[in-house]
Amino acid sequence: MNISLNLKKEDTQKITTEIELARYIMERGNDTGKMSEADRAKMEARINAKLQSGKKLSQEEMEYLRRYNPIMYAHALRVQRMAEAVEEQLKHAKSKEEADRIITSALNGISKNDPDREYIFAAVNRVVTEFHKSGAYDELPNTIDEDDKKKKKGGEVFSAAEDDEDDEFDLKNWSPLTEVYDNMPTFSVEA
């Protein structure tokens, strides 16, 4: 392999091996020369502070981590993905009860031994706070049953006993095993 790179009229560099090409690419593609050690330390401190407070990192900060601190990048990416997963689940919650279950499950699901526990906890708390502040939580019915009852009776809430009168078949209390048990033969033994 013989590549001749003409960066400036007077500066010509010949690359003859793949190793030289890789070294050239790493040197030219690396912007660390533009950033002083103090600037890099400030950037990482700022990123670490944002992660500790649960804030979402900007594209620039993620790119910085990807290029210069891949281990921290992996941690930050994991934290952001987990927070986004909780956020997505909350968007699809059908009741306050379900939203509370999602939140509890997310927070309780963080292992005490997880190295990112502090960051994940902060990020999930940020998502929960934003969800509550957005008003989406307040618009949800307390339970899914309450919402279903409102729809059936045109917005009027009524008791579960009234609801049972209208149902021919109650799906909440049905399971495939119930049907099997009901159809099993019974035996009686006389003493």
Give domain status of residue 97, yes or no: no
Give domain status of residue 25, yes or no: yes
Query: pTM of the prediction?
Result: 0.58
pLDDT band per the 50, 70, 90 thresholds, residue 9: very low
Tell which wins on pLDDT, 7 or 85: 85
Give domain status of residue 177, yes or no: no
85: closest CA among 123, 118, 112?
123
Tell which wins on pLDDT, 2 or 65: 65
Average pLDDT, the chain: 78
Gap between the Cα atoms of 161 and 167, Å rounded: 10
Give domain status of residue 149, yes or no: no
Give domain status of residue 7, yes or no: yes
Give domain status of residue 49, yes or no: no
pLDDT band per the 50, 70, 90 thresholds, residue 51: very high
Number of domains forming the structure of the chain = 1
Give domain status of residue 46, yes or no: no
Q: What is the pLDDT of residue 49?
A: 95
Give domain status of residue 153, yes or no: no
Q: What is the pLDDT of residue 131?
A: 93
pLDDT in tens, 142-179: 887 755 555 555 555 444 444 444 444 455 555 666 66
pLDDT in tens, 80-92: 999 999 999 999 9
Q: What's the domain range around 9?
A: 1-34
Name the one residue in this structure whose structure tokens are 């159809």: 183
